[in-house]
Amino acid sequence: MKNINKNQFAQMVDEHLKMALLEVGEIKPWFDPEVQAWLFEHELYPVEYGGNSKKEVIKNYPLYLRGFIEHRLNGNLASFIEAKTRGRGGKREGAGRPIGSTKAPTAVVRLPLEIAQWLKADPAHLEQVRSLLN
């Protein structure tokens, strides 16, 4: 977007806004008694507008949508706003064990409580058990 002038950018925003408004369709605000305002939002865009009347919402929602599109085209949106994920949101950068690191394999074993407490009491006990197994 750096090699584009203001008029070209405005035209591009207008084109994207037209497409977005076609996707949104008719703007039908609903009244939310909890906030005492008329609201409108659409599942395709993270833009919400609330006002005192239906007419106000119908008039101003496209302005807020335009602002969102400008930010999107400039690359000023956080990645979580754009991402549509399910569950835990997929792999996060930097999450998990570093590549190349290893961890000793383990297994779950059920032991009588007094034996588990004996093993926890002193790490040397665990070494004694290992020597018996080898």
**Residue 20 pLDDT greater than 80, yes or no:** yes
Q: Is residue 73 part of a domain?
A: yes
Question: What one-letter code names the amino acid at 65?
Answer: L
Choice among 23-32, 67-76, 83-92, 112-121 with the minimum mean pLDDT:
83-92
User: How much is the CA Rg of the chain, to the nearest whole Å?
Assistant: 29
40-88 pLDDT, tens digit per residue, is 998 888 888 999 999 999 999 999 999 988 888 887 777 767 665 444 4
Sheet holding 45-51, edge to edge: 30-32, 37-42, 45-51
Helices (H), 44-112: 54-74, 79-82
CB 24 within 8 A of CB 37: no
Domain annotation covers residue 115: no
Does 114 fall in a domain? Answer: no
127 in a domain, yes or no?
A: no
Q: Provide φ and ψ at 9, rounded to 5°.
A: -65, -45
Give a yes or no: residue 95 inside a domain.
Answer: no
Q: Please indicate, yes or no, if residue 132 is contained in any of the structural domains.
A: no
- Decide if 35 is inside a domain: yes
Domain that holds residue 21: 6-82
Residues 6+ apart with CB under 8 A from 44: 20, 23, 24
Domain count, the chain: 1
Phi-psi category of residue 128: left, alpha or beta, with phi > 0 → left and psi -120 to 50 → alpha: alpha
Task: Report yes or no on 58 lying in a domain.
Answer: yes
